[in-house]
Structure 1
Amino acid sequence: MDNIHQIFKASPTEGDVLATVIQVNGSAYRKEGTTMLIKQSGSTIGVLSGGCLEEDIKYRAETLIDGQSKSFLYNLKSEDDLGWGQGSGCNGEIRVLLEKIDASYQAHLEKVNEQLLQGRSILTVKKLSEDYEVIGYTVIVDDNNYWTKALNIDANMELKEMKSGIHYSKELSIYRYFQWFHPKPRLFILGAGEDGVPLCDFAYKTGFHVTVADWREALCSKERFPQADRLLIGFPHEVLPKALHPQDHIVIMTHHFERDKEILQYVLNRPFKYIGIIGSNRRTMRLLEGESVPSNVYTPVGLSIGAEGPEEIAISVMAQLIAVKQKVVTENGKQANCRTLVYNK
């Protein structure tokens, strides 16, 4: 889950400290771009490790003055209690950048959040000193509009292919930290039955923007789905054309054969990231009426873990959704090793 959306919801203000993992060597609990906010009160939003670094990071954050940044390297390789890994033996090193928020940086963060709420991805490029402190930055919106030009950016650079992390420019002889911020992935739960309730809750907690849609007003209510970002009441042909975007994730779970068929007629052969269909393969084949199953359709929905009941099924669906979002499930449905791909560098 990307902590940045939780952080923006907490409204970072002057005097707070933003902590960011900017470099990982070996394996670590979180990857580059992971953020944590340390409020002036001492409370925190987000985590950077399994709990072994947060207290030290909070202590170091107290030493910063407004507008100041510092970075610290933590060695997590030790298997005894003398290292920062507290005996975890994570076999990696992480560099954490601390930035104390002043009025200028607060305004910068608010602009980033505005763009994310509009569904745009943001790239921040920070020039770093030899001590990995911030000495300048550029902010780029997806369409290559620049907010500031404090840094020289090579026009030929494939920005969308740049991964979050530290990159050295031989031409400019400088280190720069690239970080992508992306809008929340969107999940549409089509069907407001009992099995949709835990799915909505888990999806919200793992960072999805969740919409629940159903034609039955008594089921599609805020009382049943308090964590839903949006509720849509109406038949599929009424709500789907206005609501769905190409990059959305969809789970079809109305338990109504004709409604599921109507939904599939609209979503099939469209470039949605994920289309999950609850029910057996035989039922799905009947819904498809002999058509082949597209690569973005997952049926039966969820990873095969022997799940039973609404909560377990929701967990299996979320595991599959996260794997698809993190690109560790191939087009033919084979599951890759998530931990290796996500954590090891």
Structure 2
Amino acid sequence: MDNIHQILQVAPSENDVLTTVIDVEGSAYRKEGTTMLIQEQGKLVGMLSGGCLEEDVRLRAEGLKKGQSQSFFYNMKSENDLDWGQGAGCNGGIRVLLEKIDAPSRLYLQKMHERLLKGKSVLTVKKLSSEYSVSESVFIVDEDNYWGNGENHFVKEVLLLMKNVDSAASGIHYIEELSCHCFFHWFHPKPRLLIVGAGPDAIPLSYFASRTGFSVTITDWRPALCNKETFPHADVLLTGFPTEIFPGFEFHPHDFVILMTHHFQRDKEALHYLLGKPLQYIGIIGSKERTSRLMGGKELPQNVYSPVGLAIGAEGPEEIAISVMAELIQLNRTIVKTKREAVI
């Protein structure tokens, strides 16, 4: 799950500290772009590692002034306590950037949250000093939609660099046109999962999807099943038959949909409508034979998956939900990588 969605959801305040992994050497628990928020009272939102350096980062953040930034390199390779007192032995090193939020940066994050909620990806570019603190930054949706505290020359060069895939890969890159290092990272909207059917087996799927960073929508024609008490982790609940809900629903090309009403006619109605949409993934719970009947014997399109989930021998609602989410996570990681390279 991308921590940034958790962080933006709590609405960072002035005097909170945003921490970001900006460089990774070797192997590490998380990658470049991983964020964590240290709230003013010391509470942590998100994680930067497996728990071995969060407390040290929190203590270092206490000395920052509002609007100030600073970075620290953690050698995670050492197996003793000589480097910085943990002996993690993780065969890697990471550089963490700390930025104490002030009024302008709080506004920048609010704008990013708004764009992400609207389904837009945001590229963040931070110009780094020789000590890897931030001197200028810009947030970019496209060449006509950007904001930040970067000067005109910096912004102009960054907009040109968006066309270069290698230069905009997550991490620190030296930019000759600016004679400095910059940190690049794309933040993407939450992937959206639409679950059609609110039966008992949809409950663990909704929970695991929510916990792993998906925005979850549940739809069913039975109010007794499709309610907040049954699905507390769902973002949206829509009550009605597929023929009633789908015409007014705004589908996105990267949406994931699971059909699990266990009602043949309802699944058939839903599938008939969904096949006309350019969706990333349509999963159908049930056997291949049942899916074949739903399709009227026609060949499955590439975006229709049946049976759903990775083949791990899953049995029961919880295990099946885990196998489905493993498949969705695997596919979504591929989508994000492809999207980043296509947009730049």
Q: Please, what TM-score do these two structures have when normalized by structure 1?
A: 0.90
In 2, the alpha carbon distance for the partners of 1:241 and 1:207 equals 26
In 1, the alpha carbon distance for the partners of 2:107 and 2:22 equals 22
One-letter identity of the residue aligned with 2:23: Q
One-letter identity of the residue aligned with 2:156: I
Q: Deviations over 1:147-198 (max 9, x none)?
A: 2452243354345842221121112211111121211111100000000011
In 2, the alpha carbon distance for the partners of 1:184 and 1:160 equals 25
One-letter identity of the residue aligned with 2:60: R
Residue 291 of structure 1 corresponds to 298
Residue 222 of structure 1 corresponds to 228
Task: Mark the CA change 1:121 to 1:292 in structure 2 (over 3 Å): closer, same or farther.
Answer: same
One-letter identity of the residue aligned with 1:153: K
Give unpaired runs (5+ residues) of structure 1: 329-345
Residue 218 of structure 2 corresponds to 212
Residue 157 of structure 1 corresponds to 161
Matched, 1:236 2:239: no
Size of the aligned set, in residue pairs, is 329
Q: Give the C-alpha shift of residue 146 in structure 1.
A: 2.4
On the 8 A contact 2:36/2:47 being kept in 1, the answer is yes
Deviates more, 1:153-162 or 1:274-283: 153-162
Alignment of 1:250-265 (within 5 A): 250-265=257-272
Q: Please, what TM-score do these two structures have when normalized by structure 2?
A: 0.90
Alignment of 1:251-330 (within 5 A): 251-268=258-275, 270-327=277-334
In 1, the alpha carbon distance for the partners of 2:286 and 2:80 equals 49
In 2, the alpha carbon distance for the partners of 1:229 and 1:112 equals 20
Deviates more, 1:94-103 or 1:151-160: 151-160
Alignment of 1:174-193 (within 5 A): 174-193=180-199
On the 8 A contact 2:108/2:147 being kept in 1, the answer is no
Residue 342 of structure 2 corresponds to none
In 2, the alpha carbon distance for the partners of 1:188 and 1:272 equals 11
Q: Deviations over 1:50-71 (max 9, x none)?
A: 1111011011101111111001
Q: Give the C-alpha shift of residue 202 in structure 1.
A: 1.1
On the 8 A contact 1:209/1:229 being kept in 2, the answer is yes
In 2, the alpha carbon distance for the partners of 1:84 and 1:316 equals 39
On the 8 A contact 1:76/1:85 being kept in 2, the answer is no
Deviates more, 1:199-208 or 1:185-194: 199-208
Percent identity between matched residues is: 61
In 2, the alpha carbon distance for the partners of 1:291 and 1:90 equals 51
On the 8 A contact 1:22/1:33 being kept in 2, the answer is yes
In 2, the alpha carbon distance for the partners of 1:159 and 1:144 equals 14
Task: Mark the CA change 1:311 to 1:143 in structure 2 (over 3 Å): closer, same or farther.
Answer: farther
Q: Give the C-alpha shift of residue 97 in structure 1.
A: 0.2
Residue 339 of structure 1 corresponds to none
In 2, the alpha carbon distance for the partners of 1:142 and 1:297 equals 32
Residue 35 of structure 2 corresponds to 35
On the 8 A contact 1:203/1:210 being kept in 2, the answer is yes
One-letter identity of the residue aligned with 2:257: I
Q: Write out the 4+ residue segments of structure 1 that deviate beyond 6 Å after TM superposition.
A: none
In 2, the alpha carbon distance for the partners of 1:221 and 1:173 equals 56
Give unpaired runs (5+ residues) of structure 2: 336-344
One-letter identity of the residue aligned with 1:157: L
